[in-house]
Structure 1
Amino acid sequence: MAITIDLVGRVVLVTGGRGGVGGGIVQAFRAAGAEVETAGRSASEPGDDGARHGAVHYSVVDVREPDSVGAWIADVLARRGRIDVVVNNAGGGPYADFAAASPRLYERVTALNFLGPAYVAHAAHAALDDACGVLLNITSISARRSSPGTAVYGAAKAALESLTTSLAVEWAPRIRVNAVSAGLVATPGAVGHYGDAEQTARVAATIPRGVFASPREIGDACVLLASPFASHITGAVLAVDGGGEWPAFLAHTPNARTDGGSRGA
Protein backbone atom coordinates (compact mmCIF):
# COMPACT_ATOMS: atom_id res chain seq x y z
CA MET A 1 0.00 0.00 0.00
CA ALA A 2 1.37 3.39 -1.00
CA ILE A 3 1.68 5.98 1.73
CA THR A 4 1.17 9.57 0.66
CA ILE A 5 1.27 12.83 2.59
CA ASP A 6 -1.61 15.12 1.74
CA LEU A 7 -1.27 18.72 2.93
CA VAL A 8 -3.91 20.19 0.64
CA GLY A 9 -5.49 23.24 2.28
CA ARG A 10 -2.54 23.82 4.62
CA VAL A 11 -0.73 27.16 4.56
CA VAL A 12 3.03 26.82 4.97
CA LEU A 13 5.52 29.65 5.56
CA VAL A 14 9.16 29.12 4.57
CA THR A 15 11.78 31.78 5.21
CA GLY A 16 14.62 31.95 2.70
CA GLY A 17 12.70 29.84 0.22
CA ARG A 18 13.86 31.32 -3.07
CA GLY A 19 16.60 28.73 -3.74
CA GLY A 20 19.09 26.32 -2.22
CA VAL A 21 17.79 24.37 0.76
CA GLY A 22 14.79 26.68 1.01
CA GLY A 23 13.89 25.98 -2.59
CA GLY A 24 13.91 22.25 -1.89
CA ILE A 25 11.64 22.78 1.12
CA VAL A 26 9.20 24.81 -0.96
CA GLN A 27 9.19 22.13 -3.67
CA ALA A 28 8.45 19.37 -1.17
CA PHE A 29 5.51 21.18 0.41
CA ARG A 30 4.08 22.08 -2.97
CA ALA A 31 4.33 18.42 -4.01
CA ALA A 32 2.26 17.57 -0.92
CA GLY A 33 -0.41 20.04 -2.04
CA ALA A 34 0.25 22.86 0.43
CA GLU A 35 -0.10 26.55 -0.29
CA VAL A 36 3.32 28.11 0.30
CA GLU A 37 4.30 31.58 1.41
CA THR A 38 8.00 32.33 1.30
CA ALA A 39 10.16 35.35 1.98
CA GLY A 40 13.63 36.73 1.46
CA ARG A 41 15.56 39.86 2.32
CA SER A 42 15.49 41.40 -1.14
CA ALA A 43 13.63 41.28 -4.41
CA SER A 44 15.55 39.19 -6.93
CA GLU A 45 13.12 40.07 -9.72
CA PRO A 46 11.22 43.28 -10.54
CA GLY A 47 7.99 43.44 -8.58
CA ASP A 48 8.96 40.51 -6.35
CA ASP A 49 7.44 41.99 -3.21
CA GLY A 50 3.98 40.46 -2.93
CA ALA A 51 4.49 38.47 -6.11
CA ARG A 52 3.03 35.09 -6.94
CA HIS A 53 5.26 32.59 -8.73
CA GLY A 54 3.06 29.65 -9.67
CA ALA A 55 1.41 28.57 -6.42
CA VAL A 56 4.10 30.17 -4.25
CA HIS A 57 3.66 33.69 -2.92
CA TYR A 58 6.90 35.60 -2.36
CA SER A 59 7.35 38.57 -0.01
CA VAL A 60 10.35 40.72 0.85
CA VAL A 61 10.99 40.29 4.57
CA ASP A 62 14.05 40.82 6.75
CA VAL A 63 13.71 38.21 9.50
CA ARG A 64 16.26 40.15 11.57
CA GLU A 65 13.70 42.96 12.00
CA PRO A 66 10.73 42.16 14.27
CA ASP A 67 8.51 44.77 12.63
CA SER A 68 9.17 43.31 9.18
CA VAL A 69 8.36 39.83 10.45
CA GLY A 70 5.19 40.98 12.19
CA ALA A 71 3.94 42.75 9.08
CA TRP A 72 4.55 39.61 7.00
CA ILE A 73 2.63 37.35 9.37
CA ALA A 74 -0.25 39.84 9.50
CA ASP A 75 -0.34 40.04 5.71
CA VAL A 76 -0.41 36.26 5.29
CA LEU A 77 -3.24 35.95 7.82
CA ALA A 78 -5.19 38.70 6.07
CA ARG A 79 -4.90 36.94 2.71
CA ARG A 80 -4.99 33.27 3.77
CA GLY A 81 -6.88 33.33 7.03
CA ARG A 82 -4.62 30.74 8.66
CA ILE A 83 -1.04 29.50 9.11
CA ASP A 84 -0.48 25.78 9.66
CA VAL A 85 3.28 25.29 9.33
CA VAL A 86 6.25 27.62 9.73
CA VAL A 87 9.72 26.59 8.55
CA ASN A 88 12.58 28.76 9.79
CA ASN A 89 15.10 28.14 7.02
CA ALA A 90 16.79 31.52 6.44
CA GLY A 91 20.35 31.44 7.73
CA GLY A 92 24.01 31.21 6.87
CA GLY A 93 27.21 33.09 7.44
CA PRO A 94 30.59 33.77 5.82
CA TYR A 95 33.79 31.94 6.66
CA ALA A 96 35.74 34.11 9.09
CA ASP A 97 38.51 33.50 11.59
CA PHE A 98 36.96 34.17 15.00
CA ALA A 99 39.87 36.28 16.32
CA ALA A 100 39.98 38.42 13.19
CA ALA A 101 36.24 38.93 12.74
CA SER A 102 34.47 41.99 14.05
CA PRO A 103 31.82 42.05 16.79
CA ARG A 104 29.47 43.46 14.15
CA LEU A 105 29.83 40.24 12.15
CA TYR A 106 29.02 38.20 15.26
CA GLU A 107 25.85 40.27 15.69
CA ARG A 108 24.74 39.84 12.07
CA VAL A 109 25.30 36.08 12.05
CA THR A 110 23.51 35.63 15.38
CA ALA A 111 20.62 37.82 14.27
CA LEU A 112 20.09 35.85 11.06
CA ASN A 113 20.51 32.35 12.48
CA PHE A 114 18.97 32.68 15.93
CA LEU A 115 17.11 35.93 16.59
CA GLY A 116 15.37 35.86 13.20
CA PRO A 117 13.85 32.41 13.76
CA ALA A 118 12.88 33.49 17.28
CA TYR A 119 11.10 36.58 15.92
CA VAL A 120 9.25 34.48 13.32
CA ALA A 121 8.20 31.91 15.92
CA HIS A 122 6.99 34.64 18.27
CA ALA A 123 4.98 36.44 15.59
CA ALA A 124 3.41 33.22 14.28
CA HIS A 125 2.57 31.72 17.68
CA ALA A 126 -1.07 32.78 17.88
CA ALA A 127 -1.85 31.58 14.35
CA LEU A 128 -0.08 28.25 14.92
CA ASP A 129 -1.93 27.82 18.20
CA ASP A 130 -5.27 28.38 16.45
CA ALA A 131 -4.38 25.76 13.82
CA CYS A 132 -2.68 23.27 16.19
CA GLY A 133 0.23 23.81 13.85
CA VAL A 134 3.87 22.92 13.42
CA LEU A 135 7.05 24.96 13.80
CA LEU A 136 10.20 23.60 12.15
CA ASN A 137 13.67 25.07 12.59
CA ILE A 138 16.42 24.24 10.10
CA THR A 139 19.68 23.79 11.97
CA SER A 140 23.03 22.29 11.03
CA ILE A 141 25.57 19.66 11.99
CA SER A 142 27.67 22.70 12.96
CA ALA A 143 25.48 22.97 16.05
CA ARG A 144 26.83 19.70 17.47
CA ARG A 145 30.41 19.51 16.30
CA SER A 146 33.29 21.97 16.14
CA SER A 147 32.82 24.62 13.47
CA PRO A 148 36.17 26.32 12.86
CA GLY A 149 35.81 29.34 10.63
CA THR A 150 32.07 29.54 11.31
CA ALA A 151 32.14 29.38 15.10
CA VAL A 152 29.40 31.95 15.73
CA TYR A 153 27.17 30.32 13.09
CA GLY A 154 27.55 26.96 14.83
CA ALA A 155 26.84 28.53 18.22
CA ALA A 156 23.72 30.26 16.87
CA LYS A 157 22.43 26.98 15.42
CA ALA A 158 23.08 25.27 18.76
CA ALA A 159 21.03 28.00 20.43
CA LEU A 160 18.24 27.40 17.90
CA GLU A 161 18.19 23.70 18.78
CA SER A 162 17.89 24.64 22.45
CA LEU A 163 15.02 27.00 21.60
CA THR A 164 13.37 24.17 19.68
CA THR A 165 13.30 21.80 22.62
CA SER A 166 12.17 24.53 25.04
CA LEU A 167 9.30 25.74 22.84
CA ALA A 168 8.20 22.15 22.28
CA VAL A 169 7.48 22.00 26.01
CA GLU A 170 6.10 25.53 26.39
CA TRP A 171 3.75 25.23 23.42
CA ALA A 172 2.59 21.65 23.90
CA PRO A 173 0.16 20.14 23.24
CA ARG A 174 -1.28 22.43 20.56
CA ILE A 175 1.89 23.24 18.62
CA ARG A 176 4.55 20.73 17.69
CA VAL A 177 8.10 22.14 17.47
CA ASN A 178 10.95 20.22 15.85
CA ALA A 179 14.25 20.88 14.10
CA VAL A 180 15.90 19.39 11.04
CA SER A 181 19.67 19.25 11.38
CA ALA A 182 21.05 19.39 7.85
CA GLY A 183 24.38 17.89 6.93
CA LEU A 184 26.25 18.82 3.76
CA VAL A 185 23.78 19.78 1.04
CA ALA A 186 24.38 20.04 -2.71
CA THR A 187 23.55 23.69 -3.31
CA PRO A 188 25.17 26.12 -5.78
CA GLY A 189 27.00 27.72 -2.86
CA ALA A 190 28.45 24.38 -1.77
CA VAL A 191 30.24 23.93 -5.10
CA GLY A 192 32.28 27.09 -4.65
CA HIS A 193 32.86 26.42 -0.96
CA TYR A 194 34.32 22.92 -1.33
CA GLY A 195 36.21 23.46 -4.59
CA ASP A 196 36.05 21.72 -7.95
CA ALA A 197 34.24 18.46 -8.72
CA GLU A 198 37.16 16.29 -7.60
CA GLN A 199 37.55 18.10 -4.31
CA THR A 200 33.80 18.02 -3.69
CA ALA A 201 33.80 14.25 -4.33
CA ARG A 202 36.50 13.84 -1.70
CA VAL A 203 34.37 15.75 0.78
CA ALA A 204 31.34 13.60 -0.10
CA ALA A 205 33.44 10.49 0.61
CA THR A 206 33.63 11.56 4.27
CA ILE A 207 29.85 11.07 4.54
CA PRO A 208 28.87 7.44 5.27
CA ARG A 209 26.17 7.55 2.59
CA GLY A 210 28.78 8.85 0.16
CA VAL A 211 26.80 11.78 -1.25
CA PHE A 212 25.64 15.24 -0.29
CA ALA A 213 21.96 15.61 0.51
CA SER A 214 19.81 17.26 -2.12
CA PRO A 215 17.75 20.30 -1.07
CA ARG A 216 14.64 18.25 -1.80
CA GLU A 217 15.71 15.59 0.71
CA ILE A 218 15.80 18.27 3.42
CA GLY A 219 12.36 19.38 2.24
CA ASP A 220 10.97 15.85 2.34
CA ALA A 221 12.08 15.54 5.98
CA CYS A 222 10.22 18.77 6.75
CA VAL A 223 7.06 17.50 5.07
CA LEU A 224 7.25 14.29 7.12
CA LEU A 225 7.60 16.21 10.39
CA ALA A 226 4.71 18.49 9.42
CA SER A 227 2.44 15.57 8.55
CA PRO A 228 0.07 13.46 10.68
CA PHE A 229 2.65 10.65 10.50
CA ALA A 230 4.72 12.68 12.98
CA SER A 231 1.81 13.48 15.30
CA HIS A 232 3.65 12.34 18.44
CA ILE A 233 7.02 13.85 17.51
CA THR A 234 7.86 17.15 19.17
CA GLY A 235 11.05 18.52 20.69
CA ALA A 236 13.09 16.36 18.31
CA VAL A 237 16.14 17.27 16.26
CA LEU A 238 16.10 15.05 13.17
CA ALA A 239 19.54 14.58 11.61
CA VAL A 240 19.40 14.52 7.81
CA ASP A 241 23.10 14.11 7.22
CA GLY A 242 23.70 10.79 5.47
CA GLY A 243 25.12 9.25 8.63
CA GLY A 244 27.25 12.17 9.74
CA GLU A 245 30.99 11.84 9.22
CA TRP A 246 33.47 8.99 9.19
CA PRO A 247 35.49 9.09 12.45
CA ALA A 248 38.92 10.57 11.66
CA PHE A 249 40.80 7.78 13.44
CA LEU A 250 39.60 5.27 10.86
CA ALA A 251 41.93 6.81 8.28
CA HIS A 252 44.81 5.56 10.40
CA THR A 253 43.38 2.17 11.33
CA PRO A 254 44.60 -0.90 9.39
CA ASN A 255 41.93 -2.55 7.24
CA ALA A 256 39.33 0.09 8.17
CA ARG A 257 36.76 0.87 5.51
CA THR A 258 37.34 4.58 4.85
CA ASP A 259 36.35 4.81 1.18
CA GLY A 260 33.03 6.48 1.97
CA GLY A 261 31.02 3.30 1.54
CA SER A 262 28.31 2.87 -1.07
CA ARG A 263 27.69 5.67 -3.55
CA GLY A 264 24.10 4.59 -4.10
CA ALA A 265 21.44 7.25 -4.23
Structure 2
Amino acid sequence: MSENPTYVESTPDYPGLLRLDGKHVVVLGGGQGIGRQTCLAAASVGARVTVVDAEHDRAKSVAEEIDGLALTADATRRSDMERVFANAVERFGPPHGLADIIGVAGWTPLAECSDDDWQRALDLNLKHAFLAVQLGYKAMAESGSIVLVGSVSGFRSSPNHAGYGAAKAGIMNLAGTAAVEFGPRVRVNVVAPGQTITPRMAVRHPEPGYYEERGKLVPLQRVGEPRDIASAILFFLSPLSQWVTGQTLVVDGGSGRLYQYGGIK
Protein backbone atom coordinates (compact mmCIF):
# COMPACT_ATOMS: atom_id res chain seq x y z
CA MET A 1 0.00 0.00 0.00
CA SER A 2 1.48 3.33 -1.01
CA GLU A 3 1.63 6.16 1.45
CA ASN A 4 -0.64 9.15 0.96
CA PRO A 5 1.72 11.95 -0.11
CA THR A 6 -0.66 14.62 1.23
CA TYR A 7 -0.75 13.21 4.77
CA VAL A 8 1.63 14.80 7.26
CA GLU A 9 1.40 13.86 10.90
CA SER A 10 2.58 16.37 13.45
CA THR A 11 2.78 16.08 17.22
CA PRO A 12 1.60 19.14 19.13
CA ASP A 13 2.84 20.47 22.42
CA TYR A 14 0.11 18.81 24.47
CA PRO A 15 0.89 20.56 27.78
CA GLY A 16 1.04 23.83 25.86
CA LEU A 17 -2.46 23.25 24.50
CA LEU A 18 -3.78 23.47 28.04
CA ARG A 19 -2.33 26.94 28.52
CA LEU A 20 -4.49 30.07 28.25
CA ASP A 21 -1.69 32.62 28.56
CA GLY A 22 -2.98 36.12 27.89
CA LYS A 23 -6.44 34.83 27.03
CA HIS A 24 -9.53 36.42 28.57
CA VAL A 25 -12.08 34.14 30.26
CA VAL A 26 -15.42 35.33 31.65
CA VAL A 27 -16.96 33.15 34.38
CA LEU A 28 -20.63 33.68 35.22
CA GLY A 29 -21.46 32.53 38.74
CA GLY A 30 -17.80 32.67 39.61
CA GLY A 31 -18.13 33.67 43.25
CA GLN A 32 -18.25 30.26 44.90
CA GLY A 33 -18.18 26.50 44.44
CA ILE A 34 -17.72 25.31 40.87
CA GLY A 35 -17.51 28.88 39.63
CA ARG A 36 -14.69 29.81 42.00
CA GLN A 37 -12.74 26.68 41.09
CA THR A 38 -13.23 27.46 37.39
CA CYS A 39 -11.80 30.94 37.93
CA LEU A 40 -8.81 29.52 39.80
CA ALA A 41 -8.28 26.83 37.16
CA ALA A 42 -8.32 29.31 34.27
CA ALA A 43 -6.00 31.72 36.08
CA SER A 44 -3.58 28.89 36.93
CA VAL A 45 -2.90 28.33 33.22
CA GLY A 46 -2.40 32.00 32.44
CA ALA A 47 -5.87 33.38 31.72
CA ARG A 48 -7.07 36.83 32.68
CA VAL A 49 -10.40 36.23 34.39
CA THR A 50 -13.55 38.30 34.77
CA VAL A 51 -15.50 37.01 37.78
CA VAL A 52 -19.24 37.66 37.59
CA ASP A 53 -21.59 36.94 40.48
CA ALA A 54 -24.92 38.13 41.85
CA GLU A 55 -23.15 38.96 45.14
CA HIS A 56 -20.48 41.66 44.97
CA ASP A 57 -18.46 40.42 47.94
CA ARG A 58 -18.18 36.92 46.47
CA ALA A 59 -17.03 38.21 43.08
CA LYS A 60 -14.56 40.60 44.72
CA SER A 61 -13.08 37.89 46.96
CA VAL A 62 -12.37 35.53 44.06
CA ALA A 63 -11.08 38.30 41.80
CA GLU A 64 -8.60 39.35 44.48
CA GLU A 65 -7.23 35.79 44.60
CA ILE A 66 -6.33 35.86 40.91
CA ASP A 67 -5.90 39.57 40.11
CA GLY A 68 -9.08 39.44 38.06
CA LEU A 69 -12.01 41.75 37.41
CA ALA A 70 -15.05 41.51 39.70
CA LEU A 71 -18.46 42.37 38.26
CA THR A 72 -21.91 42.08 39.81
CA ALA A 73 -24.98 41.28 37.72
CA ASP A 74 -28.34 39.58 37.49
CA ALA A 75 -27.52 37.17 34.68
CA THR A 76 -31.20 36.85 33.73
CA ARG A 77 -31.40 40.52 32.72
CA ARG A 78 -30.23 41.48 29.24
CA SER A 79 -29.17 44.97 30.31
CA ASP A 80 -26.99 43.55 33.07
CA MET A 81 -25.35 41.07 30.73
CA GLU A 82 -24.70 43.73 28.10
CA ARG A 83 -22.99 45.80 30.79
CA VAL A 84 -20.95 42.81 31.95
CA PHE A 85 -19.52 42.09 28.53
CA ALA A 86 -18.89 45.79 27.80
CA ASN A 87 -16.96 46.21 31.07
CA ALA A 88 -15.08 42.95 30.64
CA VAL A 89 -13.99 43.84 27.11
CA GLU A 90 -12.93 47.30 28.26
CA ARG A 91 -10.68 45.77 30.94
CA PHE A 92 -9.22 42.68 29.29
CA GLY A 93 -10.27 42.84 25.64
CA PRO A 94 -12.62 40.46 23.80
CA PRO A 95 -13.03 37.17 25.69
CA HIS A 96 -11.62 33.94 24.32
CA GLY A 97 -13.56 31.83 26.82
CA LEU A 98 -16.90 31.99 28.59
CA ALA A 99 -18.09 29.62 31.30
CA ASP A 100 -21.65 29.85 32.62
CA ILE A 101 -21.87 28.05 35.97
CA ILE A 102 -25.22 29.48 37.11
CA GLY A 103 -27.99 27.11 38.12
CA VAL A 104 -30.41 26.70 41.00
CA ALA A 105 -32.31 23.48 41.61
CA GLY A 106 -35.86 23.63 42.94
CA TRP A 107 -38.02 20.84 44.32
CA THR A 108 -41.75 21.13 43.61
CA PRO A 109 -44.21 18.36 42.71
CA LEU A 110 -45.27 18.78 39.10
CA ALA A 111 -48.96 18.76 40.02
CA GLU A 112 -48.35 21.67 42.40
CA CYS A 113 -45.91 23.67 40.25
CA SER A 114 -47.25 27.21 39.79
CA ASP A 115 -46.61 29.42 36.79
CA ASP A 116 -44.19 31.43 38.93
CA ASP A 117 -42.34 28.26 40.01
CA TRP A 118 -41.99 27.16 36.39
CA GLN A 119 -40.82 30.55 35.17
CA ARG A 120 -38.30 30.84 38.00
CA ALA A 121 -36.83 27.44 37.07
CA LEU A 122 -36.45 28.52 33.44
CA ASP A 123 -34.98 31.91 34.32
CA LEU A 124 -32.44 30.59 36.83
CA ASN A 125 -31.38 27.62 34.73
CA LEU A 126 -31.92 28.46 31.05
CA LYS A 127 -32.62 32.13 30.31
CA HIS A 128 -29.21 33.27 31.54
CA ALA A 129 -27.59 30.63 29.31
CA PHE A 130 -29.44 32.03 26.29
CA LEU A 131 -28.21 35.54 27.09
CA ALA A 132 -24.69 34.32 27.82
CA VAL A 133 -24.44 32.41 24.55
CA GLN A 134 -25.94 35.16 22.41
CA LEU A 135 -24.14 38.15 23.94
CA GLY A 136 -20.95 36.24 24.67
CA TYR A 137 -20.64 35.17 21.05
CA LYS A 138 -21.04 38.76 19.86
CA ALA A 139 -18.37 39.97 22.30
CA MET A 140 -15.87 37.20 21.61
CA ALA A 141 -12.52 37.34 19.93
CA GLU A 142 -11.94 35.79 16.50
CA SER A 143 -11.98 32.33 18.06
CA GLY A 144 -13.23 31.10 21.39
CA SER A 145 -15.02 28.55 23.52
CA ILE A 146 -18.29 28.73 25.43
CA VAL A 147 -18.96 26.19 28.20
CA LEU A 148 -22.36 25.81 29.83
CA VAL A 149 -22.98 23.80 32.99
CA GLY A 150 -25.93 21.45 32.64
CA SER A 151 -26.83 18.53 34.87
CA VAL A 152 -27.48 14.83 34.76
CA SER A 153 -31.06 15.92 35.50
CA GLY A 154 -31.20 16.97 31.85
CA PHE A 155 -30.86 13.29 30.88
CA ARG A 156 -32.99 11.52 33.45
CA SER A 157 -36.13 12.36 35.37
CA SER A 158 -36.50 12.76 39.11
CA PRO A 159 -39.56 13.41 41.28
CA ASN A 160 -40.26 17.07 42.07
CA HIS A 161 -37.60 18.19 39.58
CA ALA A 162 -39.64 19.00 36.46
CA GLY A 163 -38.68 22.64 35.94
CA TYR A 164 -35.00 22.16 36.69
CA GLY A 165 -34.71 19.04 34.56
CA ALA A 166 -36.52 20.61 31.61
CA ALA A 167 -34.28 23.68 31.76
CA LYS A 168 -31.10 21.60 31.93
CA ALA A 169 -32.26 19.51 28.96
CA GLY A 170 -32.82 22.80 27.15
CA ILE A 171 -29.23 23.84 27.84
CA MET A 172 -27.92 20.82 25.93
CA ASN A 173 -30.12 21.58 22.94
CA LEU A 174 -29.19 25.26 23.05
CA ALA A 175 -25.49 24.37 23.05
CA GLY A 176 -25.96 22.08 20.07
CA THR A 177 -27.73 24.76 18.04
CA ALA A 178 -25.11 27.35 19.00
CA ALA A 179 -22.31 24.97 18.01
CA VAL A 180 -23.82 24.54 14.56
CA GLU A 181 -24.45 28.25 14.03
CA PHE A 182 -21.25 29.60 15.60
CA GLY A 183 -18.77 27.17 14.04
CA PRO A 184 -16.02 27.40 13.07
CA ARG A 185 -15.27 30.57 15.06
CA VAL A 186 -16.65 29.60 18.47
CA ARG A 187 -17.05 26.16 20.05
CA VAL A 188 -19.94 25.48 22.45
CA ASN A 189 -20.06 22.55 24.87
CA VAL A 190 -21.77 21.45 28.08
CA VAL A 191 -20.49 19.88 31.29
CA ALA A 192 -23.21 17.90 33.11
CA PRO A 193 -22.32 17.21 36.76
CA GLY A 194 -23.75 14.48 38.91
CA GLN A 195 -24.24 15.09 42.62
CA THR A 196 -21.57 17.56 43.70
CA ILE A 197 -20.80 19.11 47.08
CA THR A 198 -21.30 22.79 46.36
CA PRO A 199 -21.85 25.44 49.07
CA ARG A 200 -25.57 25.44 48.29
CA MET A 201 -25.83 21.65 48.51
CA ALA A 202 -23.83 21.61 51.73
CA VAL A 203 -26.47 23.87 53.27
CA ARG A 204 -29.30 21.72 51.94
CA HIS A 205 -27.79 18.51 53.34
CA PRO A 206 -25.81 19.31 56.51
CA GLU A 207 -26.42 15.88 58.02
CA PRO A 208 -23.16 14.24 59.21
CA GLY A 209 -22.07 11.46 56.89
CA TYR A 210 -24.65 12.29 54.18
CA TYR A 211 -22.16 12.65 51.34
CA GLU A 212 -20.07 9.72 52.49
CA GLU A 213 -23.16 7.50 52.27
CA ARG A 214 -24.12 8.92 48.87
CA GLY A 215 -20.58 8.31 47.68
CA LYS A 216 -20.91 4.60 48.38
CA LEU A 217 -23.55 4.45 45.61
CA VAL A 218 -21.10 5.79 43.01
CA PRO A 219 -18.63 3.57 41.11
CA LEU A 220 -15.77 5.93 42.00
CA GLN A 221 -16.94 5.78 45.63
CA ARG A 222 -17.44 9.46 46.29
CA VAL A 223 -19.66 12.34 45.24
CA GLY A 224 -18.24 15.13 43.13
CA GLU A 225 -16.34 18.19 44.29
CA PRO A 226 -16.25 21.59 42.56
CA ARG A 227 -12.70 20.92 41.34
CA ASP A 228 -13.92 17.86 39.41
CA ILE A 229 -16.34 19.96 37.40
CA ALA A 230 -13.88 22.83 36.97
CA SER A 231 -11.34 20.41 35.47
CA ALA A 232 -13.81 19.41 32.76
CA ILE A 233 -14.69 23.03 32.09
CA LEU A 234 -10.99 23.87 31.75
CA PHE A 235 -10.62 21.11 29.14
CA PHE A 236 -13.38 22.67 27.04
CA LEU A 237 -12.00 26.20 27.48
CA SER A 238 -8.52 25.15 26.36
CA PRO A 239 -7.25 24.26 22.88
CA LEU A 240 -6.97 20.64 24.04
CA SER A 241 -10.61 20.38 22.96
CA GLN A 242 -10.14 22.31 19.73
CA TRP A 243 -12.02 19.73 17.64
CA VAL A 244 -14.91 19.23 20.06
CA THR A 245 -18.14 21.22 19.84
CA GLY A 246 -21.82 20.66 20.47
CA GLN A 247 -21.10 17.96 23.04
CA THR A 248 -22.17 17.23 26.62
CA LEU A 249 -19.62 15.66 28.95
CA VAL A 250 -21.16 13.90 31.95
CA VAL A 251 -19.01 14.18 35.09
CA ASP A 252 -20.72 12.00 37.68
CA GLY A 253 -18.25 9.40 38.90
CA GLY A 254 -19.98 6.78 36.79
CA SER A 255 -23.30 6.91 38.65
CA GLY A 256 -25.23 7.36 35.41
CA ARG A 257 -24.27 3.85 34.37
CA LEU A 258 -25.85 2.49 37.54
CA TYR A 259 -29.00 4.51 36.96
CA GLN A 260 -29.16 3.14 33.43
CA TYR A 261 -28.87 -0.47 34.52
CA GLY A 262 -30.85 -0.29 37.74
CA GLY A 263 -28.03 -0.10 40.28
CA ILE A 264 -29.32 3.08 41.96
CA LYS A 265 -32.95 3.51 42.95
Aligned to 1:16: 29
Aligned to 1:34: 47
How far does the alpha carbon of each residue in 1:194-227 deviate from its partner, in whole angstroms, 9 at most, with x for none?
4523332221122111111221121111111121
Aligned to 1:108: 120
CA contact (8 A) 1:164 1:179 kept: yes
> Per-residue deviation at 1:53?
4.9
CA 1:102 to 1:54, structure 2 compared with 1: closer, same or farther past 3 Å?
same
Where structure 2 has 5 or more consecutive residues not aligned to the other structure, the ranges are: 1-12
Q: TM-score, normalised by structure 2?
A: 0.86
Higher helix fraction (1 or 2): 2
How far does the alpha carbon of each residue in 1:130-177 deviate from its partner, in whole angstroms, 9 at most, with x for none?
331001110000000112222101110100100011110111111111
Matching residue within 64, 82, 86 for 1:70: 82
Q: Distance in 2 between matches of 1:140 and 1:75?
A: 30
Letter in 1 for 2:224: A
How far does the alpha carbon of each residue in 1:235-260 deviate from its partner, in whole angstroms, 9 at most, with x for none?
110111111242474479xxxxxxxx
Matching residue within 213, 228, 232 for 1:221: 232
SS in 2 for 1:59: strand
> Per-residue deviation at 1:11?
0.5
Matching residue within 81, 86, 91 for 1:79: 91
> Per-residue deviation at 1:183?
1.0
CA contact (8 A) 1:24 1:217 kept: no
Aligned to 1:262: none
Aligned to 1:164: 175
Task: Indicate the larger mover: 191-200 or 178-187.
Answer: 191-200
CA contact (8 A) 1:83 1:131 kept: no
Aligned to 1:256: none
Identity among equivalent positions (%) equals 26
Aligned to 1:263: none
Where structure 1 has 5 or more consecutive residues not aligned to the other structure, the ranges are: 253-265
SS in 1 for 2:250: strand
1:95 matched to 2:107:
yes
Aligned to 1:258: none
> Per-residue deviation at 1:93?
2.7
CA RMSD of aligned residues (A): 2.3
Report the count of equivalent residues: 249
CA 1:249 to 1:125, structure 2 compared with 1: closer, same or farther past 3 Å?
closer
Q: Distance in 1 between matches of 2:199 and 2:253?
A: 19
Q: Distance in 1 between matches of 2:170 and 2:241?
A: 24
CA contact (8 A) 2:41 2:230 kept: yes
> Per-residue deviation at 1:68?
0.6
1:61 matched to 2:68:
no
CA contact (8 A) 2:24 2:93 kept: no
Letter in 1 for 2:128: G
How far does the alpha carbon of each residue in 1:48-72 deviate from its partner, in whole angstroms, 9 at most, with x for none?
59x7554222111111100110111
Matching residue within 233, 252, 256 for 1:241: 252
